[in-house]
Amino acid sequence: MGSEINRRDALKRAMAIGLLAVPATSLLSACASSDSGDTTKKPSSQGTKSADNPLGVNKGTALEAFVFKGGFGDDYIKSAEADYNAKYGITVKHTGTQAIGPKLQPRFASSSPPDFMDNSGADNLDTAALAKTGKLQDLTPLLDAPTIDDPSKKVRDVLIAGTVEQGQFGSKEMYAFNYAFTVYGTFYSNKLFKEKGWTYPQTFSDMLALCKKIKAAGIAPFTYPGKYPYYVHFDLLHQIGKVGGKEALNAIDNLDDGAFKTDAVKEVIAYYEELAGQGYFLQGSEGMTHIQMQTAWTQGRAAMVSDGSWVENEAAPTMPKDFDLAVGSLIGSGPNDKLPFGALYAAAGEPFIVAKDGKNPTGGMELLRIMLSKKQTSNFTNAIKSLTCVQGAADGLSLTPGLTSANAALKAAGPNVLNSRLQDWYKKLNNETIGNLTLDLLSGKIKATEWIDRAQKAADDTKKDSSVPKFKHL
């Protein structure tokens, strides 16, 4: 999912083509200059609460939705909007776009944002900055509202563990609702692997041995999107967590001193240096978008990609019907790793936000509540080939090969699920600064030691920068 990613949350989610990220500092300054400081103003759209209308939507009040139209498309939102229209007597003003940041940053700066937004894609807004400057609606009322299908249960009671935390930014308030549940990892064609007699490996050394066989067969072992090199971090960062444990990953997220100087980081980055040194990346990858990467992969020019489970939908136009998509869990150094093989990066992704200064924030939360209904979650999974953040929402559905593999990997991971917050807490640091270091590493321009030194300096500089909001794992 899209995004990435992710999803793509990370996201997971990172799916717009050829667009630049909006700097957090510019967004912060723009938002700060227009912040009224009013944290108690009751929205004029508030109506009377009832059993059928627990959030108190004012019927007939206009609602504007701005939706990222990436790997997931936007038809699933239109389906939920149709239910909203029928219930509240309006027609939601819907805009589907990949240019979320450029189109919405000026509107936030002028305190005239849309009510409801799917803030995903490579060009998304900095959610952390918006939350810190009071621009987003706290979604706690939604969490405490009854579900549509079972009024005896609150929304928070039916969400997969970690969904609420994914939308928090160093406090108990929830400002982003990540709707899709994305499994990240190394994706490959099970059909190709079976035909060639290849087995997905569990360790770096075994992967290097497999890459040698793949290259000998005339196929590049890996490709990546050099335009968005942080896709590689879906694996890279979480392999650090597999080798060194969650504490190693949390230290990176927390900008702890020396977090990039640990043995776990050294082992993982040395592995990527070896992949590059052996020529195991498809030539030309450094100039590719994520779509070009996926196309090269589905056409058989590369065997594996680091991606999110949205890829089954996003790459569908070029993926052969018998591709038999599968996802491999995180690999590591071996039995001395802090987490066993089967550990996985998985997270709620595709973040939806509601503007506090919108004309109808209550309606924005209600549209999200409708999206969590069985009708809409089933529609999403069937149409998009992705899980949602609702427990058991996929039960009884016929799942595609990729989704079946992702669901099995998630169950096998058990408690060993990792989720770095670097990409949504410090977007510029992850996506641009360290992302460009990763691009240079994979293209052979720098060595592992330089990647580590410069990544640590970038983290230290971010930590010292008072204009960048800081976050910590609770």
451 part of a folded domain: no
- List pLDDT tens digits, range 147-160: 999 999 999 999 98
Q: DSSP H helical segments within 173-232, as ranges?
A: 190-196, 204-216
Residues 335 and 352 in one domain: no
Nearest to 182 by CA among 417, 464, 462, 427: 417
Token look-up 């200064």 returns 357
Residues 259 and 398 in one domain: no
CB 99 within 8 A of CB 20: no
453 part of a folded domain: no
31 part of a folded domain: yes
Residues 197 and 111 in one domain: no
Domain boundary among 314, 345, 376: 345
The parent domain of residue 264 ranges over 184-345
- List pLDDT tens digits, range 109-147: 999 999 999 999 878 999 988 998 999 999 999 999 999
Domain boundary among 413, 434, 455: 413
457 part of a folded domain: no
Q: What is the structure's pLDDT at 44?
A: 57
The CA–CA distances, whole Å, from 93 to 51, 60, 420 equal: 26, 13, 35
Q: Which domain CATH number covers 82?
A: 3.40.190.10
Q: Both tokens of residue 370?
A: 């409708």
Residues 339 and 190 in one domain: yes
Nearest to 169 by CA among 223, 215, 133: 133
Half-sphere CA count of 468, side-chain side, radius 13 A: 20
Number of domains in the chain: 2
The CA–CA distances, whole Å, from 6 to 51, 62, 387 equal: 34, 29, 12
Q: How many helices (H) and strands (E) does the chain have?
A: 20, 10
Q: List beta partners, residue 307.
A: 185
Find how far residue 315's CA is from the centre of its chain.
17
Distance of alpha carbon 257 from alpha carbon 290, whole angstroms = 33
Domain boundary among 413, 440, 461: 413
427 part of a folded domain: no
469 part of a folded domain: no
Residues 376 and 401 in one domain: yes
Residues 175 and 224 in one domain: no
361 part of a folded domain: yes
Residues 270 and 177 in one domain: no
Distance of alpha carbon 241 from alpha carbon 419, whole angstroms = 9
436 part of a folded domain: no
Show pLDDT as tens, one digit a residue, over the chain (474 residues): 443 334 333 333 333 322 223 333 333 333 333 333 444 444 456 889 999 999 999 999 999 999 999 878 999 999 999 999 999 999 999 999 999 999 999 999 999 999 999 999 878 999 988 998 999 999 999 999 999 999 999 999 999 888 998 899 877 899 999 999 999 999 999 999 999 999 999 999 999 999 999 999 999 999 999 999 999 999 999 999 999 999 999 999 999 999 999 999 999 999 999 999 999 999 999 999 999 999 999 999 999 999 999 899 899 999 999 999 999 999 999 999 999 999 999 998 899 999 999 999 999 999 999 999 999 999 999 888 888 999 888 888 889 999 999 989 988 998 899 999 998 889 899 999 999 999 999 999 999 999 999 999 999 999 999 999 898 887
Residues 192 and 289 in one domain: yes
Nearest to 131 by CA among 424, 367, 473, 464: 424
Q: Enter the DSSP assignment of 469.
A: -
Distance of alpha carbon 458 from alpha carbon 451, whole angstroms = 10
Residues 162 and 217 in one domain: no
Q: What is the pTM of this model?
A: 0.76
Nearest to 246 by CA among 349, 338, 340, 166: 338
Residues 391 and 338 in one domain: no
Residues 363 and 324 in one domain: no
Distance of alpha carbon 316 from alpha carbon 107, whole angstroms = 34
Residues 238 and 132 in one domain: no
Nearest to 33 by CA among 104, 132, 133: 133
